Amino acid sequence: MSMITATSWVRQGFAARYPIKYDFDEDEYNRISKLARVQLDEAKDDLAEAQEKLNDEDAGELGIGVKVPTAFKKNPRSYDDDDLKEYDLEHYDEEGDRGGVGDPLSMMGNVGSLAYHKSNTEDPYITIQEQDHEDEEREELEILQTDNLILAGRVEDEVAHLEVYVYEDDVDNLYVHHDIMLPAIPLAVEWVSLPPGHDGSKVLRTGKNPAENIAAVGMMEPDIELWDIDTVDCMYPHGILGPTAFNKQREKKKKVRKGYPNNKFHVDAVLSLASNRLHRNLLASASADTTVKLWNLNMMDCAHSYEFHSDKVSSVAWDPRTESCFITGSYDKTVVMADARSPNQKPLRWNFTSDVEKAQFDPHNSTTFYVNTDDGIVHCYDFRQDVADPAKANPLWKLQAHDQSISSFDINPTIPGFLATGSSDKTVKLWNVESSGPSMVVSRNLGVGKVFSTNFAPDTNVGFRLAVAGSKGSVQVWDTSTNAAVRRIFGSRIAPNGAIDPVKERMIALDESGDESEDGEDGEEQGNAMEE
């Protein structure tokens, strides 16, 4: 069984042109030892416990009906197996006449008598040209400045991976560049443009620091792992936010893992992540432990912990305009809006009749936000209405977008009024959101199974690209501009202030060529919108 649980885009220009190969040197070993101290201590303790149990004569039987000899319990090396004794393996590496090095009867004993001949000219069919091999491998790893990366959390046969895809828009090509093995099922993936422990002085990649392209991964475990995706074949994350990095003693770790939520780290699965694009050192996380935490990536610790909800917190998102307010959604059927600058201020709260799956601000309207619930409804609110008691506020409109649960939705960050919803009914629907309410533009089954993730590309020149993934374990990038209805409705919205936009020029060319949509359902239809 294979499925993609979460996806996230990486902006163009942030990925290293030539990702580096992982180098496990002494410095890396020391870094890993420091980050993994808890796991190493646990392994040592487990080994000591196993040895104590083995040396205990009262331990009884090992396995099924197999009793360990007393001599082996006291000294495992003193136990000789008659079948192996004749080979004298203890003296295998010793020189002499026991089959060690130099023994003519040993497998490699006559290696010194072997002869080889070297000609003056090297055989091109035998000799490996190292330089050519390195150049070819370097070319295969190359990522262009016009390429986007897509991060995808995959689960296959109980093995979890973070896959790094390269999307080449000019040829509409998507392929896996490299992948990273994860210790637990990924539930949330977010791109972070600041390396852990960085002072934030650099805005773009300088070439001196290879860790400005980071993937934050929330998993079934309470740890949040930060991976450098510009390094291929990584063995260990660039940083960890959670109990593994915080605790120094195993006993303390066990106590807090089984205890109640605290203000230092999560103690249950991490369900949602949100990176602050303005204050790049801030990362927000929502967890099944009912808390929302604000992490300072410069210090690698929790700056503040919020206890807004009484059930699992399924969603957290920043306001893309102010980057100080954030919104959260929970299975306690409420949505909360708070300001990180005023942590002690009472937040605004809205009530719903079903579990909240996701809440998100409108990037083109500073007072509007959207909420989708487990019953397949999308709600649109203006938080200026009834601020005194937002729980009693009525939405601007409600939309029964799908008959089944809406597992994901996204608002296009570069094209106003462009909304996408994905559902467990295996369809993706595109919506035109106007002041009068929403209307459906097109519905399509992309063959990914139950849809778990829908994300619009963040760059203007690829603004019509929608990454979709689901239960069949595949990622599809849908160029929605190939649909005639999409071009007709949104074509005039992509280049504000009269600016020349390459995407708009391409759409004009498509319209002039008479290219029509291949989708089965399109057109501006009312999608069961219920205006309040």
Encoded tokens for 529: 């919108």
pLDDT tens string 459-490 = 988 999 999 999 999 999 999 999 999 999 99
pLDDT band for position 22 (50/70/90)?
Answer: confident
pLDDT band for position 319 (50/70/90)?
Answer: very high
Among 144-148, 246-250, 348-352, the range scoring the smallest mean pLDDT is: 246-250
| Higher-pLDDT residue of 20, 531 | 20
* Model pLDDT, residue 38: 58
Among 117-131, 229-243, 268-282, 439-453, the range scoring the smallest mean pLDDT is: 117-131
Among 36-50, 214-228, 493-507, the range scoring the smallest mean pLDDT is: 493-507
* Model pLDDT, residue 336: 95
> Is it the case that residue 206 has pLDDT exceeding 50?
no
Give the whole-angstrom CA distance, residue 278 versus residue 486: 31
* Model pLDDT, residue 73: 46
Cβ count near 501 (within 10 Å): 16
> Is it the case that residue 520 has pLDDT exceeding 60?
no
| Higher-pLDDT residue of 185, 248 | 185
Among 241-245, 269-273, 327-331, 496-500, the range scoring the smallest mean pLDDT is: 496-500
* Model pLDDT, residue 513: 54
pLDDT band for position 388 (50/70/90)?
Answer: low
Give the whole-angstrom CA distance, residue 171 versus residue 477: 12
> Is it the case that residue 447 has pLDDT exceeding 70?
yes
pLDDT tens string 34-70 = 666 656 665 666 677 777 777 665 555 544 444 444 4
Mean pLDDT within 149-173: 94
Mean pLDDT within 255-269: 75
Helix or strand (DSSP H, E) at 496? none
> Is it the case that residue 156 has pLDDT exceeding 80?
yes
* Model pLDDT, residue 387: 63
Give the whole-angstrom CA distance, residue 186 versus residue 112: 54
Encoded tokens for 403: 């008959």
Report DSSP state, residue 237: -
Residue 526: which of 438, 409, 403 has the closest Cα?
438
* Domain residue extents for the chain: 35-104, 411-532
* Model pLDDT, residue 21: 80
* Model pLDDT, residue 136: 67
Q: Share the mean pLDDT of the chain.
A: 78
pLDDT tens string 362-387 = 999 888 999 999 999 999 998 887 66
Mean pLDDT within 319-335: 91
- Is 8:149 a contact under the CB 8 Å cutoff? no
- Letter for the amino acid at 31? R
* Model pLDDT, residue 99: 46
Which range scores top for mean pLDDT: 202-211, 277-286, 495-504?
277-286
pLDDT tens string 398-417 = 999 999 999 999 999 999 99
Mean pLDDT within 230-249: 79
pLDDT tens string 106-120 = 444 554 555 555 555
Mean pLDDT within 231-260: 67
> Is it the case that residue 264 has pLDDT exceeding 70?
yes
> Is it the case that residue 505 has pLDDT exceeding 60?
no
3 to each of 187, 453, 469, 512, how far by Cα in Å? 11, 11, 8, 39
> Is it the case that residue 451 has pLDDT exceeding 90?
yes
98 burial (CB, 10 Å; 0-12 / 13-18 / 19+) is: middle
Encoded tokens for 184: 């637990």
Cβ count near 447 (within 10 Å): 11
246 to each of 31, 64, 215, 231, how far by Cα in Å? 15, 40, 20, 25
Mean pLDDT within 83-100: 56
